[in-house]
Structure 1
């Protein structure tokens, strides 16, 4: 419930503090007095889109503060908890508009984003007028309103879940068909490429190993001749033979040399041993360098084949194996594609059947709810002096979607035998006001958490009809706080709290004031609404009669 509203330096309001009560609150005043400005201020603090320029002339900034009472079960508490904002029994919304256009909002003295402010406001206040800001005239919202009246969240959840599964199955089938078609377009290439890759069968790391082996064999070919010459020079025909001849000659002479050759012989023997080791090492190296030239040719041929295939497919040589595996997977998908498509088609049919069941359950529930809604509307229209009017909820089959396949439209016929049509095309201004009021009364049952605002919804009606509108508003206010901007004395007389909006000029500055009227002043205000500028005793008597009920 809206408890208070404080306005500073907004449009033509200097400073204003209002306290609202439970039940029906009415705001009256002459045309142009500023009643719409009051709603602009409330809309501003609630984060609604409105006028761009709000700051009063001469002020640096404008500010609006609204205080609401929050019962323990109020849905705003969950919104505040999710946003990490403090929540108590009192909710304080404050919003400032600077002269440069910057707007800043606080919720319970914590900075809040515009998005959070709008979420909170949607659970606090609902505005209705002849232009139907609440969306009652928009056919695109009628299905949601019927669902709200029907109160079947489980059926809606089942339909949305089934639609999600159906949509997912359709996407998978479409993707599989597209993939299969794409693979079919390159089938010849795939089969040729896989055959070529399988024939070569390149292994990870093979290209590097072949390159190393090739370089080794190429290097061996260049040094083998020199190693062979060295082996010959060290062998029996070379250094070894000469040294053995020298040893033999020295051995023969040693007996007559009186020991002079013993040292050289020892060193020569050691040299022969070292020479033998060197010759053996050279022979081993020569053997290692010995290779078949055809092996080099085969190595180069395979190395070049692997590199050519890698260039052809635009991959690294070491990735040819995984690339081939990917091509085989595509071929496998092609070969098994028809079978996979059939399985996905079966799954789509199953999901589609599940959605049809859920949508049918929802349609039956909506049809039953439509009957109840039409009956409830008939009961509301009679007290509003429209007992001959007919309200009908039409349900037709439309395109399927998350919320089923029903299209819902509220239609009216203002007189028996007259053709039915949309609310805003069939009803006149006064009739439209009453249709909207009746519809809001029916749809608002159980929605006592909202403060309902009706902006001149009684425009175009008078006499007994206006009295009926006032009584229905008062009845609606028994279960919810209702604010009504009105020019009808019959409606104003039903208010539990009555505010008068007036405009004055002081020091060439126009300001608007709003104040709650005591009983005596209510009589004069309602008399003014009855008689006009000159209030007569007869008008006062009529005002007293209206207030007496």
Structure 2
């Protein structure tokens, strides 16, 4: 439920706040007073298009804020709305309300949206408000003339339709995917055969070289070592000689007096025999150094013995490096990438099968998927036809209660090709009586009749909801007299379980409201401003008198308005007791 709406610098409204109550709320006012701007603000809160031309002249921005309550509404809808807010990082305020805000900048018409205290795309506002707030205006009536909208209305009518529709959509998309694959294979057999040849050649080329992970990096180090092998051998051998006093190149003449290990050993022995504790500690440290020196000597010995002695090793390594470079030029920057490419190529190769056997197997799968789709579509269509008969009867009854006593609404289903929504085309048709031919709404319904058809459908389709907000923007256009009274009654009944907001110019409709908001315009020499006021009972009588015939200043006008209000409110009280 929408608890409050605040508007700033939108159209001729500089600033206005309206608290919205449960039940039926009507907005009335003179033509051009700004009622449309209230609906425009609501549309902005539902993610509607931002238009900088709507900003009040001289203002830098327009702001619309709405406060939504999810208590008292359908639990599933409330949970879905709360999940959307939480997924956006938002939260309810201290009153348990979710605040939605839309700001339009005069510079370029750019807009910003916030939900639950977090900045969000306008599409998130649309997703949040989709089930909470529905707006019916003249453009929405025109959309009702479209086949897709009429099919959607029928699917909304019966809750059992959704699981069948979901099952059909899954079967449809599965069939379309398999069918597309089959067509591509048939049409692209030559291209696929060429792709197979390329993949097989590439995989064979990599397999012939048979690289191992990281080999290209290790080979660079090996080649560098092979190119410097003589220098490395001399350096490591000399170091061993200086450490151990032995020639690492095969000359074992002792040079004990000059070797590092000999000198350190002598120093350690001298200090170890000392009776001074500090010198003994130094001896221990020398022992550690001697151990380290022994390890270094062993490491150098291993390095020296590992140096290649084969004169062909460098040539063989260079040739191997060239083989690897051939692969890295073609398939990936390094050998690890080449091996990953080969793995993907092998997976792709296994997935390509253009043999006759494979195509026949795929054709069988396509046919199975087609039959599954048809079966799901037929079940969906049968349910829709049953629902269409029931909806026709209920909608006709509603229309006859809306001062169209002999009219009948026909929900006609025509079988079509299987598509994303099934194999049905829905056409809403209207007949003036039982014997006349029913014709499509686009040709049979006047503006007023179309308004009543939409209201009748909304009354029926919203029957299972509770706590949501329904906005009707001059749904009573082109209507008067008895039909206006019936529209007021229907809106009032609809408001017993939902919040209904109606912009109206008819006093017969306004009289049924629980809350009456008046949009007033103030024109001066310099500016035009508008504000929204909540009317008291006495003020309502004056406004209804003005709406009846501009008789707000006469006793007759006020008496007529008071009688209209009293009778309507008695009916409202009865609806609430039921």
**TM above 0.5:** yes
Residues 280-314 of structure 1 show CA distances to partners (whole Å, capped at 9, x for unaligned) of: xxxxxxxxxxxxxxxxxxxxxxxxxxx9xx9xxx9
Mind listing any 5+ residue stretches in structure 1 that lack a counterpart?
A: 206-306
From the superposition, tell whether residues 400 and 165 of structure 1 become closer, same or farther in structure 2 (CA, over 3 Å).
same
- Equivalent in the alignment of 1:469: 487
The answer on whether the counterparts of 1:127 and 1:453 sit within 8 Å (CA) in structure 2 is yes
The answer on whether the counterparts of 1:28 and 1:487 sit within 8 Å (CA) in structure 2 is yes
Q: Distance in 2 between matches of 1:83 and 1:466?
A: 43
- Equivalent in the alignment of 1:132: 140
From the superposition, tell whether residues 177 and 514 of structure 1 become closer, same or farther in structure 2 (CA, over 3 Å).
same
Residue of structure 2 aligned with 1:537, choices 544, 548, 555:
555
Q: CA RMSD in A?
A: 3.5
Secondary structure at 2:355 match in 1:
helix
Residues 90-124 of structure 1 show CA distances to partners (whole Å, capped at 9, x for unaligned) of: 01112222332332222222222212122122232
Secondary structure at 1:32 match in 2:
coil
Q: Distance in 2 between matches of 1:99 and 1:165?
A: 48
* Matching of residue 361 in structure 1 with residue 379 in structure 2: yes
Q: CA deviation at 1:10?
A: 2.3
The answer on whether the counterparts of 1:16 and 1:514 sit within 8 Å (CA) in structure 2 is yes
The answer on whether the counterparts of 1:380 and 1:438 sit within 8 Å (CA) in structure 2 is yes
- Equivalent in the alignment of 2:252: none
Counterparts of 1:423-442 in structure 2 under 5 Å?
Answer: 423-442=441-460
- Equivalent in the alignment of 1:219: none
Residues 206-251 of structure 1 show CA distances to partners (whole Å, capped at 9, x for unaligned) of: xxxxxxxxxxxxxxxxxxxxxxxxxxxxxxxxxxxxxxxxxxxxxx
Residue of structure 1 aligned with 2:81, choices 76, 82, 89:
76
- Equivalent in the alignment of 1:172: 181
Q: CA deviation at 1:181?
A: 4.7
* Matching of residue 383 in structure 1 with residue 401 in structure 2: yes
Q: Distance in 2 between matches of 1:526 and 1:143?
A: 39
- Equivalent in the alignment of 1:5: 5
Q: CA deviation at 1:165?
A: 1.9
Residue of structure 2 aligned with 1:85, choices 90, 112, 137:
90
Residues 126-166 of structure 1 show CA distances to partners (whole Å, capped at 9, x for unaligned) of: 11123326842222222222111111222112111211221
* Matching of residue 493 in structure 1 with residue 511 in structure 2: yes
* Matching of residue 111 in structure 1 with residue 123 in structure 2: no
The answer on whether the counterparts of 2:543 and 2:552 sit within 8 Å (CA) in structure 1 is no
Residues 418-461 of structure 1 show CA distances to partners (whole Å, capped at 9, x for unaligned) of: 33222232111221211111011111122334311111111122
Q: Distance in 1 between matches of 2:62 and 2:51?
A: 13
Task: Answer with 406-415 or 487-496: which moved more.
Answer: 406-415
Counterparts of 1:399-414 in structure 2 under 5 Å?
Answer: 399-414=417-432
TM-score, length basis structure 2: 0.68
- Equivalent in the alignment of 2:222: none
* Matching of residue 15 in structure 1 with residue 15 in structure 2: yes
Counterparts of 1:124-523 in structure 2 under 5 Å?
Answer: 124-132=132-140, 135-152=143-160, 153-182=162-191, 204=209, 337-506=355-524, 508-523=526-541
TM-score, length basis structure 1: 0.71
Task: Answer with 48-57 or 480-489: which moved more.
Answer: 48-57
Secondary structure at 2:53 match in 1:
coil
Q: Distance in 2 between matches of 1:503 and 1:203?
A: 87
Q: Distance in 1 between matches of 2:368 and 2:60?
A: 65
The answer on whether the counterparts of 2:474 and 2:504 sit within 8 Å (CA) in structure 1 is yes
Q: CA deviation at 1:56?
A: 2.3
- Equivalent in the alignment of 2:319: none
Q: Distance in 2 between matches of 1:362 and 1:440?
A: 23
Segments of 4+ in structure 1 off by > 6 A? 183-187
Secondary structure at 2:139 match in 1:
coil
The answer on whether the counterparts of 1:81 and 1:87 sit within 8 Å (CA) in structure 2 is no
From the superposition, tell whether residues 337 and 433 of structure 1 become closer, same or farther in structure 2 (CA, over 3 Å).
same
The answer on whether the counterparts of 1:378 and 1:387 sit within 8 Å (CA) in structure 2 is no
